[in-house]
């Protein structure tokens, strides 16, 4: 088993040193922090939204958070066009968003009971996120920046990046009034060198960060001269209450393919498509279940490029033959590498960071030691 893990680490190391590296982090990267899984509406929220669920789905069905949120937004859109009153819908939307805000702030969530004995999490709940980021930043500085895409709207990676002092380019600009400005994604960070020639050096602790489903810290407000898109980023506050004028920008909803035509989602998905469609690109999918069609469409397009590689940490049950990841396996494509839980034991986010994702500095040192010792003690053959 240890040999298998070492082989996988060496294999991953080679891909991490490609020119174009992107990561897609899904809900599985926040599961250990106690963030709720909302593929089905949690019982507590279901009780709060009972009337809306029965209105749109009847008494027997248990829709996802996304399905219900989509119905409310669509109904509001129709009522608004008809000139009808939609205050009750606004109240329901605000109620759902407030619940999500209260339960998805990973600074406040309770560590998942499956990880209660994890000593690393007891000392630092963002240990695995920070370790993940540090390993990605060990790539040679002459290569392009790593692109970190996430479908999560919680703040786990935001907090981890802040804790490490990493400057992340996330599409917003400003200090006291942070507004969405998509041109920021084309910026980079350099500092002047010490030589008289004026040569500049690229800063090392920089990452491009894309929250493609929105964020708890993003608000949709009225456009203004200083904020033409009406999208602003705020610090999280416990007393924040979403309302019609300040809606949290999360989820492009179930009808994602139409919602992604609007900013900021159109720009975020354009960046995702552009990043993974570059020559010699690799996309690492960690904690992502492949249930989002709008994302899968972009990945499928990238698979039409011969030099593209897709690496998936498969944390889903091995015997789930109907899972989208199992369907990927059936393609039998050497460019699709599935790190399977049956082979490596742990391909959850914490397991992937601890066991599979190599420490590039450490790996270089280990290889040097092995090479030296082999020269010192050559085999007879």
- Convert the pLDDT of each residue in 274-290 to its tens digit: 999 999 999 999 999 89
- SS3 for 156-193, per residue? HHHHHHHHHCCEEECCEECCCCEEECHHHHHCCCEEEC
Per-residue pLDDT, averaged over 201-208, amounts to: 90
Residue 254 pLDDT: 41
- For residue 337, pLDDT beyond 60: yes
- For residue 146, pLDDT beyond 90: yes
319 vs 112, residue with greater confidence: 112
pLDDT tens-digit series, residues 262-272:
778 888 999 99
pTM of the model: 0.86
HSE-CB for 45 with a 13 A CA cutoff: 27
Residue 70 pLDDT: 83
pLDDT tens-digit series, residues 148-176:
999 998 999 999 999 999 999 999 999 88
Of the listed ranges 46-55, 234-243, 303-312, 360-369, the least confidently predicted one is 360-369
List the one residue out of 4, 19, 29, 7 whose CA is nearest residue 309.
19
First to last CA, the chain: 27
Q: How far is 174 from 181, CA to CA, in rounded Å?
A: 10
Rounded to the nearest integer, the mean pLDDT of the chain is 85
Q: Where residue 145 falls among pLDDT bands split at 50, 70, 90?
A: very high
């Amino acid at each position: 088993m240890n040999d298998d893990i070492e082989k996988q680490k060496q294999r991953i190391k080679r891909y991490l040193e490609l020119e174009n590296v992107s990561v897609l982090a899904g809900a599985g990267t926040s599961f250990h922090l106690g963030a709720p899984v909302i593929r089905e509406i949690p019982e507590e929220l279901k009780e709060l939204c009972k009337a809306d669920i029965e209105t749109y789905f009847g008494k027997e069905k248990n829709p996802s958070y996304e399905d219900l949120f989509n119905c409310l937004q669509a109904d509001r859109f129709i009522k608004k066009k008809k000139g009808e009153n939609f205050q009750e819908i606004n109240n329901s939307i605000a109620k759902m968003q407030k619940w999500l805000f209260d339960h998805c702030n990973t600074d406040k969530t309770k560590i998942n009971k499956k990880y209660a004995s994890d000593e690393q999490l007891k000392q630092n709940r963002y240990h695995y996120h920070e370790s993940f980021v540090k390993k990605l930043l060990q790539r040679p500085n002459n290569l392009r920046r790593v692109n970190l895409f996430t479908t999560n709207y919680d703040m786990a990676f935001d907090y981890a990046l802040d804790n490490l002092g990493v400057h992340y380019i996330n599409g917003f600009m400003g200090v006291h009034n942070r507004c969405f400005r998509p041109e920021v994604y084309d910026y980079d960070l350099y500092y002047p060198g010490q030589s008289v020639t004026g040569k500049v050096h690229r800063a090392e602790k920089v990452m491009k960060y894309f929250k493609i489903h929105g964020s708890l810290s993003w608000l949709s407000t009225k456009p203004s001269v200083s904020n033409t898109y009406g999208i602003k980023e705020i610090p999280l506050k416990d007393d924040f209450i979403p309302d019609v004028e300040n809606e949290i920008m999360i989820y492009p909803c179930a009808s994602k393919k139409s919602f992604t035509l609007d900013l900021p989602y159109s720009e975020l998905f354009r960046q995702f498509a552009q990043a993974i469609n570059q020559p010699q690109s690799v996309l690492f999918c960690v904690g992502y279940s492949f249930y989002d069609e709008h994302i899968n469409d972009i990945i499928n397009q990238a698979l039409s490029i011969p030099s593209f590689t897709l690496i998936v940490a498969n944390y889903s049950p091995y015997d789930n033959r109907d899972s989208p990841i199992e369907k990927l396996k059936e393609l039998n494509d050497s460019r699709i590498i599935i790190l399977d839980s049956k082979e490596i034991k742990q391909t959850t986010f914490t397991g992937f960071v601890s066991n599979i994702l190599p420490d590039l500095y450490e790996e270089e040192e280990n290889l040097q030691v092995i090479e030296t010792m082999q020269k010192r003690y050559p085999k007879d053959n």
